[in-house]
Chain A
Amino acid sequence: DAGVIQSPRHEVTEMGQEVTLRCKPISGHNSLFWYRQTMMRGLELLIYFNNNVPIDDSGMPEDRFSAKMPNASFSTLKIQPSEPRDSAVYFCASSSGVGGSSYNEQFFGPGTRLTVL
């Protein structure tokens, strides 16, 4: 299995631009998670989906952030407009999602390093 795939691996953009991060979960996994990692706040859950439905989006910082999961094999995290304080590493993870339980191990992708100038 290829594991969780994220693209791009690095993104540099200017303030005000739209940024789209992409994630392909492990085949057969039913839950998908978006995390943000910064030096100050560590690793924070932004949103997670189960069977393509958003279950918990309490970590989404503000309306500039949106996430979609149109099918079981693809998700996007969009920031529009981007700001310098959005600079961080964004991780996607997936789990088998059986029963929506934390018993399910989360498998992480390599992350996307975003720099907003």
Chain B
Amino acid sequence: AQSVSQHNHHVILSEAASLELGCNYSYGGTVNLFWYVQYPGQHLQLLLKYFSGDPLVKGIKGFEAEFIKSKFSFNLRKPSVQWSDTAEYFCAVNVDFGNEKLTFGTGTRLTIIP
């Protein structure tokens, strides 16, 4: 069965620092990849997604992620973080395109210090 690993459980950064959150999945076939975010007190919401084409995808709020098939990775990046980026970030994978099932990682808590 597929799985998703997010090795950074808690990341603390200062404002304006660059961000990279790791996401690795285990599945040998074609995948769809997602990043969801949960801001404090808010619902989980979609940040960005990759289905095919350009492996560098851009999402909301200046976030981007790069799919590297050879590394089974889909890392999330932002060149300059803001205090408002404090949230929990979840990577997810879908491997069955006729099925909407998502497999999530355990999440990374990001804390931005003003």
**A interface with B by C-beta (< 8 Å):** 3-4, 31, 33, 35, 41-45, 48, 50, 55-56, 91, 93, 95, 97, 100-110
Q: Across the interface, do A48 and B100 meet the contact criterion of CB distance under 8 Å? A: yes
The stretch that binds A, out of B13-21, B38-46, B74-82, is B38-46
Contact A102/B100 with A3-B43, A108-B44 known, Cβ cut-off 8 Å: yes
Tell me which residues across on chain A come within 8 A of B100, comparing CB atoms.
Answer: 31, 33, 48, 50, 55, 95, 97, 100-102, 104, 106
Q: Across the interface, do A108 and B99 meet the contact criterion of CB distance under 8 Å? A: no
Q: List which B81-108 residues lie within 8 A (CB) of chain A.
A: 90, 94, 96-107
Q: Across the interface, do A109 and B94 meet the contact criterion of CB distance under 8 Å? A: no
Contact A45/B99 with A3-B43, A91-B44, A103-B51 known, Cβ cut-off 8 Å: no
Contact A106/B51 with A42-B107, A43-B90, A91-B44 known, Cβ cut-off 8 Å: no
Q: Across the interface, do B102 and A56 meet the contact criterion of CB distance under 8 Å? A: no
A50 nearest CB neighbor, chain B only: B100
A9 to B90, CA, bound (A): 22
Q: Quick one: CB contact mask for B28-65 with A, threshold 8 Å, 1 for yes?
A: 00001000100000011110010100000000000000
A91 to B36, CA, bound (A): 14
Q: Across the interface, do A101 and B106 meet the contact criterion of CB distance under 8 Å? A: no
Q: Across the interface, do B106 and A106 meet the contact criterion of CB distance under 8 Å? A: no
A/B interface sample: 12 pairs, CB < 8 A = A4-B43, A35-B104, A41-B106, A43-B106, A43-B107, A44-B104, A91-B44, A100-B99, A102-B96, A102-B101, A106-B100, A107-B45
